[in-house]
């Protein structure tokens, strides 16, 4: 039986997107008969992994910039992490190690590579030539990155064919678009570090024509502003908080439009055919949101700090009032991702191990 290790973190600072796509992949490996172990730090991510009944080895917390997850460290900072991971590779007898983190360096990978049969990296940004056995990027932007292989036998799994969307978004029915918008979904990722959910809800509530519209707000496990949102709900009966959502697809399907942060949630909204206004909240989301917008899958609202409340309200009103636009977006969105990415990735990795 194969032993798979996944090194990934999730927190209010990092967000939960890395955790969620790794859980999707982990379930694929578990269904294929493999043992899966997570190596992780930070409580929000660890508790979410355990919800899906995977074993978690808690990594020691490190001080300094690299513990925040967004800094490309060098080996002097990542060296202790590498030592700890190598210990776990040996203790768990791992065949495959999958890393999903922006806090990596070339030297870090080179230190790990000799200790495991296959080293895999899940990438979004193509920062350097990754010395790994398998490089996975399931984003719409992946094939435009012109990746360079570290070695001739490196396996590259690139593009939407390998998107790690969860099983619940497979084989969804064609979307029926309501003439009038009755429900708006607000989803700002697993952490909402910029308190966008509250801002968006306030903007919608300020408009008289939206007074009867139901506002569905998804609360992620890394949220720190839940009390403010609960207070808003207490004052407005049409604002509903959805915490610990088990079937996100159902919420997306019942909402007529969505306002969403960039990231993997956009692929889920596409699978559901939910017309979406997307806001960029991190640098690594820019290219993805720009490409999805330019190809007609979503409407980009740009960088969150550059977006005025007035402009945001105008864009929401335009989409709500344009049935034909919503219908055409929805039809196109549902053709983007086929939901078979996890199966394909698992098959490809198991093929090179056997």
- Residues within the annotated binding site for substrate? 166, 268
In whole angstroms, give the CA distance from residue 201 to residue 184: 10
- β-pair partners for 218: 187, 242
**Does 66 participate in catalysis according to the annotation?**
no
In angstroms, how far is CA 135 from the centroid of its own chain?
17
38: which residues sit within 8 A by CB, 6+ positions away? 5, 6, 7, 8, 22, 26, 46, 49, 54, 55, 56, 57
Residue 182 in contact with residue 210, Cβ under 8 Å? Answer: no
In whole angstroms, give the CA distance from residue 179 to residue 74: 54
Give 203: exposed, middle or buried? Use CB within 10 Å, 0-12, 13-18, 19+: middle
Three-state DSSP state, 155: strand
Angle between helices 309-320 and 323-333 (to 10 degrees): 90
How far is CA 188 from each of CA 125, 246, 262, rounded to the nearest angstrom?
A: 21, 17, 8
Which residues are known binding-site members?
166, 268
**Pairing status of strand 35-40 against strand 96-100:** unpaired
The token duo for 87 is 């210990």
List the catalytic residues.
18
């Amino acid at each position: 039986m194969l032993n798979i290790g996944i090194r990934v973190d999730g927190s209010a600072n990092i967000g939960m997107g890395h955790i969620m796509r790794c859980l999707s992949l982990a379930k694929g490996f578990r269904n294929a008969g493999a043992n899966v172990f997570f190596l992780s730090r930070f409580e929000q991510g660890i508790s979410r992994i355990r919800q899906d009944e995977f074993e978690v080895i808690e990594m020691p917390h490190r001080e300094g910039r690299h513990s925040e997850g967004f800094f490309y460290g060098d080996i002097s900072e990542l060296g202790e992490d590498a030592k700890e991971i190598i210990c776990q590779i040996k203790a768990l007898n791992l065949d495959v190690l999958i890393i999903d983190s922006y806090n990596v360096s070339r030297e870090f990978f080179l230190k790990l590579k000799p200790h495991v049969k296959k080293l895999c990296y899940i990438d979004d940004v193509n920062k350097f030539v990754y010395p790994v056995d398998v490089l996975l990027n399931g984003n719409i932007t992946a094939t435009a990155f012109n990746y360079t292989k570290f070695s001739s036998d490196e396996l590259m799994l690139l593009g939407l064919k390998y998107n790690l969307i969860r099983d619940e978004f497979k084989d969804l029915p064609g979307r029926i678009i309501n003439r009038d918008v009755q429900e708006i979904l607000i989803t700002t990722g697993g952490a909402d570090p910029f308190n966008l959910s509250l801002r968006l809800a306030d903007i919608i509530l300020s408009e008289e024509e939206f007074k009867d519209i139901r506002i569905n707000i998804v609360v992620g496990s890394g949220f720190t502003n839940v009390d403010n949102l609960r207070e808003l709900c207490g004052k407005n009966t049409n604002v509903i908080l959805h915490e610990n959502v088990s079937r996100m697809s159902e919420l997306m399907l019942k909402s007529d439009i969505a306002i969403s942060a960039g990231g993997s949630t956009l692929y889920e909204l596409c699978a559901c055919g939910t017309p979406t206004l997307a806001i960029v909240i991190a640098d690594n989301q820019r290219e993805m949101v720009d490409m999805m917008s330019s190809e007609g899958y979503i409407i980009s609202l740009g960088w969150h700090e550059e977006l005025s409340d007035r402009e945001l309200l105008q864009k929401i009103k335009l989409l709500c009032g344009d049935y034909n636009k919503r219908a055409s977006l929805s039809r196109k969105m549902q053709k983007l991702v086929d939901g078979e990415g996890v199966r394909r990735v698992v098959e490809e990795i198991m093929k090179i191990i056997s």
